[in-house]
Every structure is written in C-alpha cells, then in structure tokens.
Amino acid sequence: MNESNKLTIKDLINIGVFTALYFVVFFVVSFVGYVPILMVLLPFICPIVAGIPYMLFLTRVRKFGMVLIMALILGLLELVMGRPWPVVLIAIAAGLCAELILKAGQYKSVKSCVLSSGVFSLWMIGMALPLFFGYRDSYLAGLVSGYGQAYVDTLASLTPDWAFFALIALCFVGGIIGGLVGSAVLKKHFKKAGMA
Amino acid sequence: MQAQVDTFRITGERSILDPRVGMLAILTVSAVMIGGSITGIDFWLRLVCCVLPLLGLVALRRWRFAVVYAALYAFALMMEGAVFQLTSGAFNMVVMILGGLISRFFAPVVMGYCVMQSTTVAEFIAAMERMHVPSAVTIPLSVMFRFFPTIAEENGAITEAMRMRQVSGMRRGLVKRMEYELVPVMMSTVRISDELSQAALTKGLGGDTRRTHICEVGFRARDYVLLVLLSAVLVLFVVT
C-alpha cells in the first residue's frame, strides 16, 4: 500500500464501483418496502444485506476519506430520489463517524470494521425521516392519494414518534449484523480466492 | 431480455443539453414524481414531468421506447386516477403497487437514461469542473454511473449460468439464493474495479497536472428555456 494519505485514482475508482454495488443491493432490498409493515422495518433489513458489499469495500479502504465520499454520494442519490434534504447531512455525519471508527482500528481490525458498518448504516435513517417530526402530516397526506388510505393508516399506526429512536437502534443493530454476515461471507468466499 | 442499458454515450457530437441542466432535470423530475401527491397543482407538475422524458426520447430518436413509455404512463395514470377510486381491498393494493411503481419510478429512470445517453463522460466531468466540484467526487460519481449497467450485465450472466446448472429458483431458500447471486457479482466487481483502475492509469488520470479536454460545455438558448421551466416547476412544487 502507498504510504501517502492522498487518495489516488485507484481509490476513487474503488469508491465509485463499490458505491454502485452498495446502492444496487440497497435499492433492490428496499423494494420490500411496498408491504406496509416491512416498510417500517426497512432500516433494519437493508443494512443486513447491504453490510456484505460494505465489508468488501472496507477491504479496499486504507485511507481517510473513502467512506466519507461514499456516504456523501449515497446521500446525494437519496436526495435525487426525492427524500428531504437533511438526508445528505445525516449521511455525511454517519460516514464521518464510521470513518473515525475505522481509523481508530487502523483500517485493519475486524471489530472496528463491523462497528463502522453499524454506524455507517445510520445514513439510511434519512429514508424514514419524512415519517416523523415536521414532515409527518404532509408526507402522510401525500401518501394517501398515491398509496391509498388503508396503506397510510397501517403505516401511521405503526409509527408513533418514539419509533424513530427505535429505528435508529434497529438500523444500528442491522448494520452490525450485516457487518458480521459480511465478514463471514468474506471469510468463506474471498479469503480463499485471495481477494480480501 | 436483452435490454441495452448503456449509460453514458460513447462517442459523437455535442450533447443536446448542457450536463448541468440535464442534472437539474433529473433532480426535478424525481423530486416531483417520487415525492409529489397526485391531486391539486401537483397533478399538473407531474404531467409536465411525465412529458419531459418523452421529449428526451423523441430527441434521441428512440421511437419505440417513446411509444412504450407513453403507453405505460397512460396506463399508470389511469390506474392512479380512476381505477384506484373504484376498487378496494387486496385488488386496490395491487393497483396501488402497479400504478405507483410505474408512475413514481419510471419517469426519473427514463429521464436519467436520456441525460446519460446524450452526455459523454468527458462532458460530464468538464461540466462538473466548471462548477468547481472536486475530482474526489466527480470521478467516483462518473465511475458509479458507468458501473450500474455493468452490474446489470454481470448479474444477467450469472443468472443465466445458474439457470444452466439448474440452481436458480428458491429451492434452497432465500438466504442461499442471495449468496449464490451476490457473491459472484461481488467477485466480478472486485476484478472489474482493478481493471478499471489500470485502464484509468494508462489514460493518464491520477496525474497531478490539469487534464485538458476538447468538448464544448456551455449554455445555449434551449438550455436557458429548460432551466427556466425546471426552476418554475421546482419552485411551485416546493412552495405549494
């Protein structure tokens, strides 16, 4: 590995490729959300699966900034998908914390990788944001016309305000599980092939 | 299904729109289509946003795609507007999912497709450079957009191989199935990303000097027209 801390073109390309992979996995899994109950659990289910490509990405990360840029791009993508703007800030914050945890582990320790996977998945909280706080009423009203009253009623009854904090916890736990699954997959498939 | 899912255009003359206006178009269309309701003023805004990708397809001369697009939207809007009110229960759910999926996601995807198809990577990067976006963001972004179709392609090949060896389907459970699908995709991702970095190095990316380019980027009359239209839609959408 290069000693310098500046990001090389190889790192930037790795970020791009793995962000694409991460986003595709995330996007496919998030289609589960069309079932109302599962939509609430989405911040729990998504990180479990998305943790696998994330852990693979971490095997390529040795410099400060790579996880942060990934989080920024994911945040921007979510913004384009029509979520409220704080998603970008949440994503940047989550990315920065995940980055710092990794740095504390010298980018090598598996434990800090798993922990950072948990923290990194908190960027997905932005997805659930419209359901809570100031956005709630207008968001639900908008959903009624698009998704139907039955869907919205189920959704509303499942999400009192405290659920937001429960979701943060769920998301974190999901990320940790995802990290563990990811490192298991890496051990099973990639170590053997000399790719991790 | 042998869909052609190229993102950035490979060669050719200057693109129809300035990449910056194109990105604003994607942003606006997806904000309105995904987040908007289907009553009141939002209805008209959504109508505008449905038509924009259609114009893009016509401008690119993708006639068949344009016809399919128009038909699908007529279908989805009818589902949302009329059939939806007349049904209830499980059937209502089906109508909601079908109509909602098509009307909410199809327009942004097609808009993105149009902009990408008419923009080269060089133009995209040049336009981003004009906006003073650092290369630490532009390079991953352009690699990422270039990579989405690659993933689709790899995934298709893997699914085909699985079908040939008769390991497809859910016979061994969802988790196994996901492992069989995801691990090979990740394997090829790693390999392709290595190859890409080598290719980029041979093209001289990553040096410290400023790269030059021969593509013209700048606003023309049509860019300004679209810019005004998009801003109007966006303002109306946010304000109301």
CB contact under 8 A, B147 and A16: yes
Cα–Cα dist B34/B106, whole Å: 10
Instruction: Please judge whether B93 and A9 are an interchain contact, meaning their C-beta atoms are less than 8 angstroms apart.
Output: no
**Domain shared by B24 and B116, yes or no:** yes
Q: How many CB atoms lie within 10 A of CB A108?
A: 11
- For residue B14, is it within any domain? no
Pick from B145, B120, B143: nearest CA to B214 = B120
Domain that holds residue B159: 125-202
Say what the pLDDT of residue B43 is. 78
Count of the separate structural domains present in chain B: 2
- How far B215 CA lies from chain A's nearest CA (Å)? 22
**Are B25 and B108 found together in one domain?**
yes
Best to test chain B binding among A1, A12, A35 (most B CBs inside 10 Å)? A12
Percentage of chain B modeled with pLDDT above 90: 0
pLDDT at B4: 46
To which residue do tokens 């604003």 refer? B24
How many beta-carbon contacts under 8 Å exist across A and B?
A: 138
Give the Å distances, CA to CA, from A72 to A69, B45, B137: 5, 29, 9
Question: What phi, psi does B10 have (nearest 5°)?
Answer: -85, -60
Whether the predicted pLDDT of B218 surpasses 60: yes
The answer to whether residues B181 and B136 belong to one domain is yes
Asked if residue B104 is part of any domain, the answer here is yes
Mean local confidence (pLDDT), B60-71: 88
Q: How far is CA A164 from CA A75, A110, A120, A122, in A?
A: 19, 29, 17, 12
Domain match, B78 and B108 both:
yes
What pLDDT shows up at residue A147?
62
**In chain B, what residues touch A7 (CB-CB under 8 Å)?**
136
pLDDT of residue A33: 67
For residues B183 and B232, membership in a common domain is answered with no
Name the residue facing A9 among B33, B93, B200 (closest C-beta).
Answer: B200
Q: Over the stretch A63-74, which tens digit does the pLDDT of each residue have?
A: 888 889 999 988
Q: Closest chain B residue to A20 measured between Cα atoms? A: B144
Q: Is residue B164 part of a domain?
A: yes
**B37 lies in some domain:** yes
| Under-50 pLDDT residues of chain A | 1-2
Tens digit of each residue's pLDDT (9 = 90 or more) over B81-111: 666 666 666 666 667 667 777 777 788 888 8
Closest CA to B237 of B8, B15, B41: B41
Same domain? For B106 and B223 the reply is yes
Domains of chain A with bracketed CATH? 9-190 (1.10.1760)
Chain B stretch 11-30, residues whose beta carbon is closer than 8 A to a beta carbon of chain A? 26-27, 30
Interface confidence, given as ipTM, is 0.76
B24 and B44 fall within a common domain: yes
